[in-house]
Amino acid sequence: MAKEGIVVPVIDLANFPAELEKLAAASTEVGCFQVINHGIPVALLAEMKETARSLFELPEEVKRRNVNPNVIDGRYRPRNFEPNGKYHESFSIYDAALPSDVLSFCSALDVSPQQRKVITEYFGKLYGLMLVMASKVVESLGLVGRSFEEWSCQARVMSYKFTSQEDIGCIAAPLHTDSSFLTILHADECVGGLQIIDANGNFIDVDPLPGAIFVNIGDMGKVWSNGRLYTVKHRVVCKEVTTRFSIGLFLLAPKDGNIGTELAFIDAEHPKLYQNFIYNEYRKQRNKCEYKISDLALRVFKRRIYVVPVIDLANLPAELEKLAAASTELGCFGVSNHDMPMSLLAKMKEAARSLFEIPADVKLRNVIHNLEDGGYRPPTFSPKSPFYESLGIYDAASPADVHSFCSTLDASPQQWFRDTVKGTMQFLASAPPAGDCLVVNGGVLRPGRADIRWMNNRRTVLAWGRPPFILNIEGKRLSQNSNLDGFRRMSVVLVFQHTQTLVFGKLLGADTGRFSRPVYERFLTVLQEDECVGGLEIMDANGNFIDMDPLPGTLFVNIGDIGKVLIKSYF
Ligand SMILES: O=C(O)CCC(=O)C(=O)O
Ligand SMILES: [Fe+2]
């Protein structure tokens, strides 16, 4: 049973900016509100309701002329269109932001000139209200002057026909969240039935306030705001034996369909929760879910984020315990205060970029017999990793090796370039976090192989290190996501080699069991991540992949067998 007495917040549009705080609370805590003083004449609302009533009286074959090829489910829905839609019938307009689309809706249904006037005026005004409400909601979160004019907007004109006493209490629209960014609902002010669910799982009746417009946040609002906006679950139940009308306007997504999180909502405390995706892909995913609610449908697009522990090199030995935990439990960590100048890191990235632009025949001159892939690994090296290209130096601790690397590839590189490569390599080689604290007991920890890696980030998931080189985990889905094309990911990797047994645990003052075995030739890897293009994932103890967000200014270090460190090619 619905609980009585709890009301949905009411926002007075004539009282801004005073209402901003209330709007912020409504949008982030309740997920919906009713708007008064919205500027849409009451007479127009009533006329549209009458027009809607007459549209549903049109012959079936006329109603079926309502189609919107550009949007999923964007057509006339007869009753029983969905298994639990026995009461529900609806028309759809896409894109209701476009007067031309509204007019073609009218023409397809052959409405009278008077009805056409009402419909066009109504959607013109309702869309205007949508733009105002979307920017106000966003402003309430602190972003001023945001416009949603470039977003698509779907309209749905709905009727629920309840014919018998037995219908009372039945569910006419099952519990769901809207897929939209924002929804404006002109609900039937005479017939209730809309219910929202609160944080405790209680259903609450939304009692229609005469003349008010109901607004709610949808799934795209949650994604765009990185979880700040609250997506309310709602449903419609039958309250009385009559026909209920409602009209919804749904602000869906930018016109190109690309949904991403607004950068202003991403920071170290609020890592990006969802991948970028295409709105229609989301709709398809959502349609597959038993319940169309964001928690289920968005699960696929959720990023598994792990904020890697950061070891502050300026704070050793106090950080040793943290380092021990990171090394023995997680196998990787970030390093801050590493003294590697940011400018050098940035220059190295540029140097790496220009290295990969050198003609292939010159790159192939980088032949190094000690490296298993011969020093230059072209994208064709393995069909399993077509986006991966790398150049290697062996041994990067040796200035002579770095120098010969530069001269081999010296098709055009300038001195600054050579200096940069040399500077980066030497730094990484001489001042690794291992330098002070991972003193090897009886073994030799020696900086060795360096790689400069380049990824043309497309459509697949790569693993580097030992085979398997490729895990095509989500490649299929990503392959539809053409906007991923052309992103290049650059990394510089320094591998510390080791040939003798390490008593690693002892060194860290921890249990020796796990690491008192040979760690093969790859002991420690220092990675300069691409700070603009994510993609590094680790596999946790449960076998789940977790995104490692690049932490600005830190170097990434991982232990030993690097088979668990993966490069995933989306950003
Ligand atoms: O008809 C109503 O009042 C609500 C409809 C709804 O929730 C929707 O179309 O998403
Ligand atoms: Fe809804």
Task: For residues 500 and 483, give the distance between their C-alpha atoms in angstroms, rounded to a whole number.
Answer: 47
For 16-31, what is the mean pLDDT?
96
pLDDT given at position 143: 96
Between these two residues, 482 and 221, which has the higher pLDDT value?
A: 221
- Sign of the CA dihedral running 429, 434, 435, 438: negative
pLDDT over 90 (residue 239): yes
- The verdict on the CB of residue 32 being under 6 Å from ligand 1 is no
The ligand with the least distance to the CA atom of 214 is 1
pLDDT over 50 (residue 469): no
- The verdict on the CB of residue 158 being under 6 Å from ligand 1 is yes
Question: How far apart, in Å, are the Cα atoms of 339 and each of 274, 335, 428, 432, 564?
Answer: 33, 10, 10, 10, 28
DSSP assignment string, 491-504 = EEEEEEE--S---H
pLDDT over 50 (residue 519): no
pLDDT given at position 292: 86
Strands (DSSP E) contained in 294-430 are: 305-306, 310-312, 332-336, 376-377, 388-393
pLDDT given at position 320: 73
pLDDT confidence bin for 89, thresholds 50/70/90: very high
pLDDT given at position 70: 79
For 194-208, what is the mean pLDDT?
87
pLDDT in tens, 218-228: 999 999 999 99
pLDDT in tens, 281-318: 899 889 888 778 887 888 888 886 666 788 887 776 67
Protein residue with least CA distance to atom 1, ligand 1: 246
pLDDT given at position 343: 82
pLDDT given at position 74: 85
pLDDT given at position 125: 97
Distance from Cα 234 to the centre of ligand 2, integer Å: 6
Could you tell which of 153, 234, 294 is best to mutate to test the pocket of ligand 1, judged by most ligand atoms within 8 Å of the CB? Answer: 234
Distance from Cα 217 to the centre of ligand 1, integer Å: 12
Q: Are 559 and 543 in contact (CB under 8 A)?
A: no
Between these two residues, 308 and 32, which has the higher pLDDT value?
A: 32
Q: Are 158 and 90 in contact (CB under 8 A)?
A: yes
For 87-106, what is the mean pLDDT?
95
Between these two residues, 256 and 369, which has the higher pLDDT value?
A: 256
- Quick check: ipTM above 0.90? yes
Task: For residues 141 and 228, give the distance between their C-alpha atoms in angstroms, rounded to a whole number.
Answer: 8
Between these two residues, 15 and 512, which has the higher pLDDT value?
A: 15
Distance from Cα 495 to the centre of ligand 2, integer Å: 53
pLDDT given at position 108: 96
Produce one character per residue of 285-309: b if its CB has 16 or more CB atoms within 10 Å, e if not: bbeebeebbbeebbebbebeebebb
Query: Which residue intervals of 30-179 are DSSP H helices?
Result: 42-55, 60-63, 99-108, 113-140
pLDDT given at position 438: 34
For 429-435, what is the mean pLDDT?
44
Which atom of ligand 1 lies nearest, measured to the CA of 214? 3
Domains in the chain, please, with CATH?
A: 1-265 (2.60.120.330), 342-566 (no CATH)
Distance from Cα 236 to the centre of ligand 1, integer Å: 7
Which atom of ligand 1 lies nearest, measured to the CA of 246? 1
DSSP state of 564: G
pLDDT in tens, 360-384: 888 888 876 655 556 787 877 776 6
Which atom of ligand 1 lies nearest, measured to the CA of 90? 9
Between these two residues, 7 and 490, which has the higher pLDDT value?
A: 7
Question: How far apart, in Å, are the Cα atoms of 521 and each of 368, 447, 497?
Answer: 17, 11, 5
Between these two residues, 355 and 24, which has the higher pLDDT value?
A: 24
Burial status of residue 61 (CB atoms within 10 A of its CB: 0-12, 13-18, 19 or more): exposed
Task: For residues 136 and 174, give the distance between their C-alpha atoms in angstroms, rounded to a whole number.
Answer: 29
Between these two residues, 162 and 427, which has the higher pLDDT value?
A: 162
Distance from Cα 55 to the centre of ligand 1, integer Å: 18
- The verdict on the CB of residue 178 being under 6 Å from ligand 1 is yes
The ligand with the least distance to the CA atom of 243 is 1
Protein residue with least CA distance to atom 9, ligand 1: 248
In the numeric block, the tokens 């529900």 are attached to 88
Which atom of ligand 1 lies nearest, measured to the CA of 160? 1
Using DSSP, how many helices (H) and how many strands (E) does the chain show?
Answer: 16, 26
Of 309-323, 344-358, 549-563, the poorest mean pLDDT is in 549-563
pLDDT confidence bin for 569, thresholds 50/70/90: very low
Task: For residues 357 and 191, give the distance between their C-alpha atoms in angstroms, rounded to a whole number.
Answer: 67
Tokens of 222: 């949650």
The ligand with the least distance to the CA atom of 90 is 1
Q: Are 545 and 304 in contact (CB under 8 A)?
A: yes
Distance from Cα 217 to the centre of ligand 2, integer Å: 9
- The verdict on the CB of residue 173 being under 6 Å from ligand 1 is yes
pLDDT given at position 252: 96
Distance from Cα 463 to the centre of ligand 1, integer Å: 45
Which atom of ligand 1 lies nearest, measured to the CA of 183? 10
Which atom of ligand 1 lies nearest, measured to the CA of 188? 3
pLDDT given at position 87: 93
Tokens of 185: 């609902």
Q: Are 396 and 449 in contact (CB under 8 A)?
A: yes
Distance from Cα 494 to the centre of ligand 2, integer Å: 53
- The verdict on the CB of residue 293 being under 6 Å from ligand 1 is no
Q: Are 448 and 520 in contact (CB under 8 A)?
A: no
**What's the mean pLDDT when you consider all of the chain?**
76
| C-alpha triplet 99, 101, 104: angle, nearest 5° | 110
pLDDT confidence bin for 138, thresholds 50/70/90: very high
Which atom of ligand 1 lies nearest, measured to the CA of 193? 3
pLDDT confidence bin for 533, thresholds 50/70/90: low
Q: What percent of the chain has pLDDT over 70?
A: 68
Phi-psi region of 423 (alpha: psi -120 to 50; beta: other; left: phi over 0): alpha
pLDDT given at position 430: 55
pLDDT over 70 (residue 1): no
Angle (deg, nearest 10), helices 42-55 and 113-140: 120
Of 247-256, 277-286, 451-460, the poorest mean pLDDT is in 451-460
Of 27-41, 214-228, 405-419, 427-441, the poorest mean pLDDT is in 427-441
pTM higher than 0.95, yes or no?
no
